[in-house]
Homo-oligomer: A and B are copies of this chain.
Amino acid sequence: MKFEKPVPVQWLAEFTGARLLGNTMQEATGINEIHKVTTGDISFVDFEKYYNACLNSAATIIIINKEVDCPEGKTLLVTPDPFSAYVKIVKRFRPFEPANKMVSDSAFIGEGTLLQPGVFVGNHVRIGNNCLIHPNVTIYDHTEIGDNVIIHAGCVIGADAFYFKRRRDQEMQYDKLESCGRVIIQNDVEIGAGSTIDKGVSGDTIIGAGTKLDNHIHIGHGAVIGKNCLFAAQVGIGGKAIIEDEVILWGQVGVSKDLTIGKGAVVMAQSGVPASIEGGRSYFGSPVGEAKPKMRELAWIKRIPELWEKVYGNKNL
């Protein structure tokens, strides 16, 4: 997320109760998770093993829980609880704004776009031209929707990321990483009934132009779906997954977070994708393998009793 105007690090230090190290005259232009940061961004780190990655990232301002050498030109905000400081800044600059009507006055609705009854459109939402939003759809704040988009009834666009951090005390409770990202739906997308697309934690969840989603599909926070993909019903995509263009996922496929499915890959029904797979091929199984060898495995399994009998002289189970 980018701020509307730059925020001085001295204000941030006071706001979060952190101590400033390094360049104390810096201004922050945004706030992001470590994998999304660009120059001017605030990020945070609270595990020693990730210190170097964060200090050497593009982040300009780093909230950290230990006094370390500040890299040239950067600013450190030192505080015992960087996670909470980060969440406090997110809540300050992207606060939850209660709605008082079904379609917010701050939403922009393009020409020729039809909202059916029962559609909720949150604050600062932008919807392009010639879209059709069917009844009882919910569109959370800050969502951006292109032209010629069809969203079927009961969909939820832009709900919070499912992202929690275990608290390190006696009880195993979770703290919520507040989301400040958005959902962006490009032109000519169609989304089936009852699907849900979560906003990114700090970046954007994107549905590429021309992609068609069937019913009951779940797209996790910050996932980036390419153009002209087809996902059949009940597919689930984990957070920050990258699905390249023209990928086809059949029904009930599950895709884990933080991976890439290459362009034009086809994944057969009920398969599970736990790690990145190359484009241009067909896959099957949970966990997936390439479809043909995976199918042959099923045939080999049926031969075990025969093999057993050959070796042992019987095939009693």
Contacts and interface: CB of A to CB of B under 8 A. Distances in A.
A286 interface: yes
A254 B270 contact: yes
A70 interface: no
B301 A305 contact: no
Contact of A138 (B135, B192, B214): B135
Contacts of A106: none
Interface stretch (A38-46, A57-65, A231-239): A231-239
Interface stretch (A7-15, A24-32, A72-80, A111-119): A111-119
Nearest to A298: B287
A269 interface: yes
A228 B193 contact: no
For this chain, the copies found in one complex come to 3
A232 B236 CA distance: 10
A215 B304 contact: no
Contacts of A232: 162, 238
A316 B99 CA distance: 62
A52 interface: no
A278 interface: no
Interface of A: 96, 98-102, 114, 116-118, 120, 132, 134-136, 138, 140, 150, 152-156, 159-160, 162, 164, 171-174, 176, 188, 190, 192-194, 196, 198, 210, 212, 214-216, 218, 220, 228, 230, 232-234, 236, 238, 245-246, 251-252, 254, 256, 269-270, 272, 274, 286-287, 296-305, 307-308, 310-312, 317
Given A116-B120, A156-B215, A173-B188, 19 more contacts: A102-B135, A118-B138, A136-B136, A152-B156, A154-B194, A162-B214, A162-B232, A162-B233, A174-B230, A196-B215, A196-B216, A198-B215, A214-B218, A216-B236, A287-B298, A297-B302, A300-B305, A303-B304, A310-B312
